Structure 1
Amino acid sequence: MPGGERGVAMCLLLGAAGVGKTLLVKRLQKLSAHDGKGDLGDPPPTRPTVGTNLTDIVAQKKITIRELGGCMSPIWPSYYGTCRALLFVLDASDPTQLSASCAHLLGLLSSEELAEASVLVLFNKTDLPCYMTVEEMKSLMRLPDIIACAKQCISTAEISAWEGTGLAGVLRWLQDTHRASR
């Protein structure tokens, strides 16, 4: 079973293909290098993740984010064992993807290995036009009910990895989650 380094917080970054996971982790890494402040500059180029990427973010302590490609969802469970924090990304500009993302999220939340993980559900691409609001999407997927019934502590955030909006909050969440899991 894939493992994590002792003393390092392991965070899984999951979501369907094309939701912006790679750009998100690159932007978080750059933001953490600047202590959560400053201009992120132009978005770096990305390619779809095939397999897994490990990225270290130094936010008071080292946090390792393991990004798993969306097409790898059948083997996501083999990475749950070392996870204490989970970033789950949805594409807020594509509500047609909502039901599949909701099914993935429910599968994650029902896993015993993730029962004590903190979860942050990220609605990414809020900078793009969409015919539904994030509140409408949350209602459609019954997210308030999911949160009420889940074993995990679940938070949500609206972000744009492209523009960098909301990423300082994600970095704070990672720091706070790491402190709480010690």
Structure 2
Amino acid sequence: MCLLLGPLGVGKTMILKRLQVYSTKGSFDNLNDAPSTIATVGTNLTNVQLNKKNEVRVRELGGMMAPIWPNYFADCSIVLYVVDVSNLSQVSSACIQLLHVLSDPRLQTASILIILNKSDLPPPMSIQQIRSLLHLEDLAVSANQRIDVLEVSALTGQG
């Protein structure tokens, strides 16, 4: 099971929609046609076909559900954690939530992908400053989990 987590409004649903398009078409064709989304209240669950042999079940949990995210950690082997890099006031709260996720004992063997979303918008800080604010290099070195970071724009399909 893969969990798609992050604060409210960071683009989790758009990322999930992009993964669904990839799953059905086998490619990221027509990236300029951004799928329409509405804010997730609760959870979205979908299977994403990575290739002919590999499929992963992705559960998106709405940002408002952060207090109960741990209820879904038991069967999780992958966490996609989304941060909106264009919203500086949200970056610090996203960091705190991320630390809670990383410290949960049930996720100590999970692979973590931190998605720095909305890189197409003019950021209030450089990506390097945001990486520093989130302490991403420190997390990657000190966490038990494997942590990777990806800069994307779910809207345009960049990254």
Q: TM-score range by the shorter chain?
A: over 0.9
1:4-42 deviation line (CA, Å, top 9, x unaligned): xxxxxx100000000000011001110232223422341
Aligned with residue 16 of structure 2, among 25, 35, 41: 25
Aligned twin of 1:67: 60
TM-score, reference length from structure 1? 0.83
Identity among equivalent positions (%) equals 46
1:62-82 deviation line (CA, Å, top 9, x unaligned): 211100000000000000011
Contact 1:81 1:113 in 2 (8 A): yes
Aligned with residue 48 of structure 1, among 39, 44, 57: 39
Q: How far apart, in 1, do the equivalents of 2:17 and 2:5 lie?
A: 15
Aligned with residue 87 of structure 2, among 88, 94, 103: 94
Structure 1: runs of 5+ lacking an equivalent: 1-9, 167-182
Contact 2:87 2:124 in 1 (8 A): no
TM-score, reference length from structure 2? 0.95
Structure 1 ranges of 4+ moved more than 3 A: none
Q: How far apart, in 1, do the equivalents of 2:20 and 2:138 lie?
A: 33
* Residue 116 (1) aligns with residue 112 (2): no
Contact 2:6 2:63 in 1 (8 A): yes
Q: How far apart, in 1, do the equivalents of 2:116 and 2:108 lie?
A: 22
Q: CA RMSD in A?
A: 1.1
Q: How far apart, in 1, do the equivalents of 2:115 and 2:77 lie?
A: 17
Structure 2: runs of 5+ lacking an equivalent: none
Q: How far apart, in 2, do the equivalents of 1:148 and 1:83 lie?
A: 22
Contact 1:30 1:40 in 2 (8 A): no
Aligned twin of 1:139: 132
Q: CA deviation at 1:117?
A: 0.3
Number of aligned residue pairs: 157
Aligned twin of 2:78: 85
